[in-house]
Chains A and B, each alone.
Chain A
C-alpha cells in the first residue's frame, strides 16, 4: 500500500504521528513531576546526611503534599527536633517548633539548607518542578547509572523561571523508555555546578513506580552526601486547611 503513495504524501501522513511521538521538553518535565510526585499524597521518608569525619545525621519526616497547594512536613525523629513543622507555600516557607514556647511560625528562605542537609528547603518541600522551571531539550546521552548500568536517556535543562526557584538551572537525565528521572545536576544562579543527585531503587509504591532512594552530593563540600529514602507514599486527599499557617500551630 505504501508503494502507491508518493514520498511527499507519505511524509504528510507520518509527520503528525512523528511529532506526536516526540514529547516536548515541558511534557518530559511534567512526566518527571508525575514520576516523582502524586497530585495529592502523604509520605514518610528518612534523610541521612554524611560528612567526612563526622557521625551520620538522620531525620525522619512525614509529608502531606498537593501539587496545587504546597507541602506540609513534620519531623518524627530525632527526638531533639521531633514535632517541628514546615509549611511550603507558593512564595513562602514557614517553620514552627511547638516546643519553643513561642506561638508564632518563623518565615524561612527556600534556598537555605534544610536542617543542615545538602538539600535546600525547596528540595524537600516542593512537589513539582514545573512551577518554578522551564525546560528545554539537550542532546540525548547514555547515563552510566550506578545500579542500572548504561541507560539511554533524554536530557532536559530546566531553567528557573521565578526568583523563588532554589536553583538557577537543573539538568535532568530521564530514562528514554519511560521518562523516569535517574540523575540530576544542580547549578547555582551564578552558573556553578554545586550539587548532583542520583535516583535509585525504582520500585512500586502502589499507584506509582518511582525511585525510593535519592542521593544528593554536595560538590562544594567534598564527601558530604544526603540520602533521602522514601519509606511509603500514598495517594490521599489532603484537605485545604493543611496548607494554611493555622495548621502549623494547631
Chain B
C-alpha cells in the first residue's frame, strides 16, 4: 500500500512550527547574563602536500601504476553569536596526475554550509538550514539507521546533506531530531537547468529524467527524504530510535543500544527496511551491527581496539555482500604520533580492504603522514569494488601508498 501523503506530516508540521517560532525566540536571543556577546569568527585550516602512488598489486613499476602529486587544503569557518551560528566547511584540491599527459582538475568541495538558529528559551532547540553532515543512530563503524547522509566509505566519513535539520533537547539526556533532505530535488533542479540550457543534448535530457526517477518535476514531494530520531541517555545506557522515509520508495526504522561497561563501549543496532514505504510487506530487509571498543591509556599514550560485525540484508551503494567484520587498532601518543589500522573484511569471499595511516608530529603544527590502502582477495570482489572509490581513476588499481606533509594553522 502506497502512502497517500508524501512525507510524515508530523515532521513537516514540527519544522514549520519551530521555524515560525524562531522569530520571537531570536528577538530574545540567548545571550548569557552579564553583558552582550558579539559574534565571534574563527577559522581552522590545514594544508597537505605530497604524492600518492597507485598500482595494480604491489609492484609500482607495472604499466598501470599512477602517480599523483597531491596538494589540498581544508577550511573550517565558523561564526558564533547569541541566537545563531554559521559554518562553512570546505576543501580545495589542487592535485594533479604526474604523467606524460598531466591531468589537472582543481576541485573545491563544500561539506557543510549552514546557518543555525537557536529556538525556544535557553536555546533548547536549533534549526539548521543549508548543507550539513548528519549522523543518526549509534553505530560508529556500521550504522544501519544512518541513511539520510550516508557514509562515503567504511568508516564514518560524510559529505553532508542539503535541507533542514531540527534538533531539540530535553535536559542533558534526551535529544530529538527531525530532518528533511532536499538533495534529490536540488539534483533534479540542476539537471533540469542543464537540460534547458542545451535542449539539443539528449544525454542531458536523459540525465534529467534519471534525476526525477519517476517524479513529475524537481518540486515533486516524492523526491523529499525525511528522517527523525530520538536519543536517550540513561547513565551508562544509551538508546537511539530512528526512522527514515522516502515517499513511495523507502522506509527504514532502526533501534540502537549502547552501554559503557567499565570503559568497554558496547553497541548494537538493528534496522528493518520496507521498500515502497509499505510497512506491511512480508519480508522487509534486515540490517544489524554489534561492536565493542576499549581504550587503554598510559600517560600521553592510548591504544584503542575496536571490533564490529555487520549484517547487511540487502545490497547497498557501498556494502554489497551480507557479512562483514571491521577490526581497528588505533595507537596515539599525544603530539608524537598517531597510528591507525583498519580492515573491512567481507566474510563470504573472503576479501578485505585494508588501510593504515601513520602520522608523525615532528613540530607543533606539522604532521608527516604515510598512508597505505590495499584490497586483498580475488579481482572483482566486493573489496576491490569498494577500493575504487578511494583510489584514483585507472584500470584495476588495488593499492595506493601516499606520503605527505600537513600543516595546521
- Residues of chain A having any CB pair with chain B under 8 Å: 42, 49, 51, 55, 57, 69-70, 78-80, 82-83, 89-92, 98-99, 101-104, 106-109, 111-113, 115-118, 163, 218, 221, 224, 234-247, 249-250
Q: Say whether A83 contacts B44, CB under 8 Å.
A: yes
Q: Is B334 an interface residue (CB 8 A)?
A: yes
Bound-complex Cα distance A111 to B168 (A): 30
Q: Is B2 an interface residue (CB 8 A)?
A: no
Q: A91-B236, A102-B158, A236-B34 are in contact. Are A113 and B123 (CB under 8 A)?
A: no
Residues of A contacting B265 in the complex (Cβ-Cβ under 8 angstroms): 107
Bound-complex Cα distance A236 to B36 (A): 11
Q: A101-B156, A103-B149, A116-B299 are in contact. Are A246 and B169 (CB under 8 A)?
A: yes
Bound-complex Cα distance A185 to B319 (A): 52
B107 to chain A, nearest CB (A): 16
Q: Say whether A92 contacts B260, CB under 8 Å.
A: yes
> What is the size category of the interface that chain B forms with chain A?
35 or more
Q: Lowest 8 A-B CB distances belong to which pairs?
A: A116-B334, A116-B300, A103-B135, A244-B169, A79-B408, A239-B122, A104-B135, A112-B297
Bound-complex Cα distance A154 to B71 (A): 61
Q: Is B322 an interface residue (CB 8 A)?
A: no
Besides A92-B235, A99-B46, A102-B158, 11 other CB < 8 A contacts? A78-B408, A79-B365, A90-B235, A91-B236, A99-B76, A103-B133, A103-B149, A108-B295, A113-B299, A116-B334, A118-B299
Contact of B123 among A49, A69, A91, A241 (CB under 8 A): A241
Residues of B contacting A108 in the complex (Cβ-Cβ under 8 angstroms): 295
Secondary structure at chain B's binding surface: helix, strand, loop or mixed? strand
Q: Which residue of A lies closest to B80 (CB)?
A: A250
Contact of B299 among A92, A106, A221, A237 (CB under 8 A): A221
Q: Say whether A42 contacts B365, CB under 8 Å.
A: no
B366 to chain A, nearest CB (A): 9
Q: Which residue of B lies closest to A64 (CB)?
A: B32
Q: Say whether A241 contacts B118, CB under 8 Å.
A: yes
Q: Say whether B33 contacts A236, CB under 8 Å.
A: yes
Residues of B contacting A118 in the complex (Cβ-Cβ under 8 angstroms): 299
Q: Say whether A250 contacts B85, CB under 8 Å.
A: yes
- Chain B, residues 120-159, CB within 8 Å of chain A (1/0): the string is 0011111010000111000010000000010000001110
Residues of A contacting B231 in the complex (Cβ-Cβ under 8 angstroms): 245
A113 to chain B, nearest CB (A): 5
Residues of B contacting A55 in the complex (Cβ-Cβ under 8 angstroms): 364
Contact of B364 among A78, A92, A237 (CB under 8 A): A78
Q: A78-B364, A83-B78 are in contact. Are A245 and B156 (CB under 8 A)?
A: no
Q: Is B167 an interface residue (CB 8 A)?
A: yes
Q: Which residue of A lies closest to B138 (CB)?
A: A104
Q: Say whether B233 contacts A92, CB under 8 Å.
A: yes
Bound-complex Cα distance A70 to B169 (A): 15
Q: A92-B260, A107-B265 are in contact. Are A115 and B76 (CB under 8 A)?
A: no
Contact of B156 among A51, A90, A91, A104 (CB under 8 A): A104
Residues of A contacting B167 in the complex (Cβ-Cβ under 8 angstroms): 246, 250
Residues of B contacting A234 in the complex (Cβ-Cβ under 8 angstroms): 34
Q: A218-B299, A244-B175 are in contact. Are A106 and B140 (CB under 8 A)?
A: yes
- Chain B, residues 48-72, CB within 8 Å of chain A (1/0): the string is 0000000000000000000000000
Q: Say whether A57 contacts B334, CB under 8 Å.
A: yes
B138 to chain A, nearest CB (A): 8
Q: A57-B334, A82-B44, A92-B233 are in contact. Are A238 and B32 (CB under 8 A)?
A: yes
Q: Say whether A83 contacts B32, CB under 8 Å.
A: no
Q: Is B89 an interface residue (CB 8 A)?
A: yes
Q: Say whether A115 contacts B334, CB under 8 Å.
A: yes
Q: Say whether B335 contacts A57, CB under 8 Å.
A: yes
Contact of B365 among A78, A104, A237 (CB under 8 A): A78
Q: Say whether B123 contacts A98, CB under 8 Å.
A: no
Q: Is B263 an interface residue (CB 8 A)?
A: yes
Q: Is B302 an interface residue (CB 8 A)?
A: yes
Q: Say whether B140 contacts A70, CB under 8 Å.
A: no
Bound-complex Cα distance A136 to B76 (A): 49
Q: Which residue of B lies closest to A107 (CB)?
A: B265
Residues of A contacting B177 in the complex (Cβ-Cβ under 8 angstroms): 246
Q: Which residue of A lies closest to B168 (CB)?
A: A246
